[in-house]
Amino acid sequence: MASINLIEAFQDFKEAENIDRPTMMKVVEDVFKTLLRKKYGSDENFDVIVNAEKGDLEIVRHRMIVEDGNVNDPLAEVAYSEAIKIEPDYEVGEELYQEVEILDFGRRAILAAKQTLASRIGDLKKNILVKKYSDRAGEIVNAEVYQVWKKEILLLDEEGNELILPKSEQIPQDYFKKGESIRAVVKKVDLKNNSPVIILSRTNPSFLAKLLEIEVPEIFDGLIVIKKIVREPGERAKVAVESYDDRIDPVGACVGMKGSRIHGIVRELKNENIDVINWTNNIQLLIQRSLTPSKITSMEIDSEKLHANVYLKPDQVSLAIGRKGVNIKLAQELTGYSIDVFRDNEGEEEEFDIDLEEFSDEIETWVIDEFKRVGCDTARSVLELTPEELERRTDLERETIDEVRRILKEEFDKE
């Protein structure tokens, strides 16, 4: 039996593990039935038998044996005299089964069939890939870095499928090398030049939501619900949670004993500060909680204009605003209210300041602690003292003091 070498085509099927055997057989059968229709005008009296293991196929033609001169349909009937040439024992009324040599179709037809088969397999694999990742939108995947480019990173999943992590979906502090494993959430599946492009994200709020779901069993079990997440990737995030079980403290469960549950997430997000707060429908209380870690003295709310004036002690204003205004920005996103911050009892806007803790990614913790030891909690409190005075009051070297002042001054210059 002459056959086409279909091993490569079948190998493609095997690589796409999600293509089941019946689907594979159906595709091959369809391709060769098309070939039969082109040659004979019909495929009704032909059986296409596929052997996926060996990588070949057989085509068997079956016709009814009739008396000589009674052949009305050459495709379905064969004369007795012709039948006995193939096998002398045949009789009228029996069915003649005859193998069709693949090579009889001609080289061009065979080549076209192989190309069509490869194309159909490719389309199937694309469709399976699109469905697989469309169904996994919002889920975390693990992938290996294959190539790092300026605007995006190419990753491979465990099946060798290509995934894309654009620069815009990376945390600013992210730095990955080839061969490294990355966790990210499936954001969407795009089609580019008729090929699926799976876009991942590490900045999307759903990434943080899924990390919490992994670390906090109560969220996975539905005992705690994440009501809303707002993020400034790499800087700060605010997570509002609510429990349907009065016995469960949702904030405590999310943070864990001594921060055990939240620490792993913070490391994954490149030291992003995560504020977990209790959700409430009381907007005044929600605004108060959303401005954590600051403590509010009083508040004026205009529900119609969705606006709030918040009054705090002078040392709390910088905490409420946060570095680069991130804390108050996230509070506004979380509550849906625009918020103005004032010093308590004065009604004057506080001169912009930043808590030293907000610079923990650029200034080492022990250096910040040394400044705080001498009463310098904010950026302005450090800059208001001369380098000589700081050198005298702290145990820091002049070089370290100058570097810290440069970092703090640059931040105010940006603002």
Long-range CB contact pairs, 33-38, < 8 A, 24+: 34/113, 34/116, 35/105, 35/109, 35/112, 35/113, 38/109
CB 241 within 8 A of CB 229: no
**Range 7-132 classified under CATH 3.30.50.10:** no
Residue 372: what are its φ and ψ, rounded to 5°? Answer: -65, -30
**Coil/strand/helix, residue 282:** coil
CB 204 within 8 A of CB 169: yes
pLDDT, position 2: 39
| Domain spanning 141-203: CATH superfamily | Nucleic acid-binding proteins (2.40.50.140)
Q: How far apart are CA 269 and CA 353, in angstroms?
A: 26
pLDDT, position 201: 95
pLDDT, position 3: 44
**Coil/strand/helix, residue 218:** helix
Q: How far apart are CA 317 and CA 312, in angstroms?
A: 6
Q: How far apart are CA 387 and CA 47, in angstroms?
A: 91
Let me know the angle formed at the C-alpha of 203 by 196 and 133, rounded to the nearest 5 degrees. Answer: 25
pLDDT mean values, one per 10 residues, the chain (415 residues): 46 52 72 79 77 67 81 80 80 79 73 75 79 88 93 90 93 92 92 85 94 93 94 94 89 89 92 92 92 89 91 86 90 94 63 78 86 81 86 86 89 71
Residue whose entry in the numeric block shows the structure tokens 């009704």: 44
pLDDT, position 19: 60
pLDDT, position 22: 67
Ordered by start, the domain boundaries in the chain are 7-132, 141-203, 356-414
